[in-house]
Structure 1
Amino acid sequence: MFKGIILSVIASVTFGVLYFYTKLLTGLDSEQTFGWRMVATLPFLTLLMWLLGDLNHIKTIYQRIIAQPAFFLLLILSSILTSVQLWLFLWGPMNGRGLQVSLGYFLLPLVLVLSGSLLYGEKLSKFQIAAVVLAVIGVSHEIFRLGSIAWETALVAFGYSAYFLLRKKIGTDNLGGFWWDIVIILPIALYFIQSGKGSLVVLQQQPLMLLVVLGLGVLSAIGLGSYILASRFLPMILFGLLSYLEPILLALASLALGEKITSEEWYTYIPIWCAVLLLVIEGSWHLYQQRKNKVAFERNIEVYQKRLKNGE
């Protein structure tokens, strides 16, 4: 479990570092940066999958495409959904909208909770109901204040939820599915690289920028790989709790980059943060109960073994 915790923290910290990392990509706009990220991530992701023994997922999905050509249309949709999120992740801090993006990541678990309740009939606990109510209060204030919620926030919360639900539905919720997401979007990524003044010109003028681009791919692969590995080593509840570290770091990174939370915006952020806190408290309580039950079970086993040994 300790290994899983370390990997989860590495993933969250890596994603937080990527927020700052965009400042090193001078001369490139968000679309060009997205293009280079896709191109640079693919080889490192493939290497990671080889090290983890996950390359078979690529072949399995390919065989499904050959057997069911219509399945490829769903893969295209999956690629579009995740590509929009990866672009927005870079666009936000580069355009002073990192806080709005991080708020979407805070709302994402709550949207997933509601999705599970509405689509799969999962029952909400009292803590989850209270968390949803608080989130609704925060979102309602934002809508009252602006007439709508920030599109970046809505796109993360609902777009990523749609992406996760689609991957689960079509059975591509593994590294192989993400590999195909990147491969499918590569033509657009290459187009973005050539857009505007041309990022290749920037690389020629700033040779060290090539190392920065490669670093972008390495960080993306490390973040993703650590995240996937953490999900394998950790109980789902603890994995979910640790995932809240990412939006916290993204919000702190946005503030460090000079963004501000206005006095009116606090009435949006505070209820949503309280909602997340309730989910953390509930998850922590579940972990405590699981640990308590495990200790009691082990104690009963020891007592039973002693009785057998004494011939009772």
Structure 2
Amino acid sequence: MTVPAEGSRGAAGVGYAAAAYLMWGLFPLYFHALAGVPAPEILAYRIVCSTLFVAALVTLKRRWADVLRQLRAPGTLPSLAASALFISANWLVYVWAVNAGRVLEASLGYFVNPLVSVVLGVVFLREPLTRAQRIAVILAALGVVALVVRAGTFPWVALALALTFGLYGLIRKRVRVDATAGLLGEVALLTPVAAIYLAALGAAHAGHLGASARVTIFLAASGVVTAIPLMLFALGVQRLRLSTIGLLQYVNPTVQFGIAVLVFREPFSAAHALTFGCIWLSLAIYSFEALALARRQAG
């Protein structure tokens, strides 16, 4: 089944969104280069450096008046505070998973994420489930149960990543801010706590900035690495149908899956094969249903 045609504007959108998802998919390689640095410290640098980078970008584009207008809208900052908590929890679990050798489970979380978002839509937005969506959700649940029963492990990393990112998306869906203003608001709200934490590490001589040239460069660049794919994604979303975005989002976990198995050589057991098989089948059903719905709406 092909993606519905969207013209030259859509072609550019596919390029932007695909680049964003590819960058996110390559994140395991980036954060693996920071192995030995505790996940909370990486998170703190990611927050502070993101704030500095986005603030500099807003200054260069002379967008402060527009950004502040968006952030001052009633209810915006409390909503961004909530979304900031979920995205920071997502970042923390993800970085920990990469450096704990659990990239395979992290990729499972982002495969499951679209289905978790469907369930959250039912619970919080009263969105009805189609028959195909119900089958997809049940298959995904069976896949998780199969991993618990056959491998004897509960995939808490995958579920934590899917749930925190799903809740983040649910909140951001209701906040009327663009990607730049939203990201700046979130990281700026988190920056005081992150800065205090980093100052405490420095006072105790326990920080890793300056430990080596590689570590220093990667920590300092974490803000750029965080912000650029989010901005590319925002440009893609503006030009594409949601059904197209729904298909492109699998680029991220697919690349992570390949890195986990082929580069990091994480074990892929029969239990994993059964679980991922159930998830992939459920996603195929979900995607075909989304494309069919998009065609009916367009026709």
TM-score bracket for this pair, using the shorter chain length: 0.7 to 0.9
Q: Tell me what 2:286 maps to.
A: 279
Q: How many Å apart are 1:94 and its aligned residue?
A: 0.8
* Aligned-residue CA RMSD (Å): 2.8
Q: Which residue of 2 aligns with 1:129?
A: 134
Aligned to 2:55: 46
Post-superposition CA distance 1:130-158 (Å, at most 9, x none) = 21121121122234346773221121122
Q: Report the AA paired with residue 109 of structure 1.
A: P
Aligned 8 A contact 2:20 2:233 in 1? yes
For the pair shown, the structure with the greater C-alpha radius of gyration is 1
1:68-107 alignment runs, 5 A limit: 72-107=77-112
Counterpart residue number, 1:223 = 229
Deviation (angstroms), 1:96: 1.0
Equivalent residue for 1:204? 210
Give the letter for the 2:206 counterpart.
G
| Among candidates 178, 181, 202, match of residue 183 of structure 2 | 178
Higher mean alpha-carbon deviation, 176-185 vs 142-151, is at 142-151
Gap change, CA 1:26 and 1:246, over 3 Å in 2 = closer
Q: Is the 8 A contact 1:13 1:246 kept in 2?
A: yes
Aligned residues: 286
2:272 aligned with 1:265: yes
The 1:197/1:22 distance shift into structure 2, 3 A limit, reads farther
Distance of aligned partners of 1:221 and 1:72 in 2 relative to their CA distance in 1, 3 Å threshold:
closer
Matches within 5 A, 1:284-295: 284-286=291-293, 293=299
**TM-score w.r.t. structure 2 length?**
0.83
Contact 1:57-1:177 within 8 A present in 2 as well: no
Is the CA contact 1:45–1:221 (under 8 Å) kept in the aligned structure 2? yes
SS at match of 2:271: coil
Residues 120 and 167 in structure 2, CA contact (< 8 A), matched pair in contact too: no
Deviation at 1:161, TM superposition (A): 1.8
What is the TM-score when the length of structure 1 is the normalising length? 0.80
* Contact map agreement 2:25 2:256 (CA 8 A) in 1: yes
Q: Secondary structure at the match of 2:182?
A: helix
For the Cα contact (< 8 Å) 2:147–2:272, is it kept in 1?
yes
Identity value in percent: 24
Partner SS state of residue 213, structure 2: coil
The equivalent residue for 2:250 is: 244
The residue aligned with 1:309 is none
1:73-130 residue CA offsets vs partner (Å, 9 max, x unmatched):
5443322111111122211111111122221111111111122234333333333222
Q: 1: distance between equivalents of 2:35 and 2:168?
A: 31
Paired AA for residue 176 in structure 1: A
The equivalent residue for 1:306 is none
| Unmatched runs of 5 consecutive residues or more in structure 1 | 294-312
Cα shift at 1:33: 1.4
Q: CA deviation at 1:231?
A: 0.7
Give 1:37's aligned residue: 46
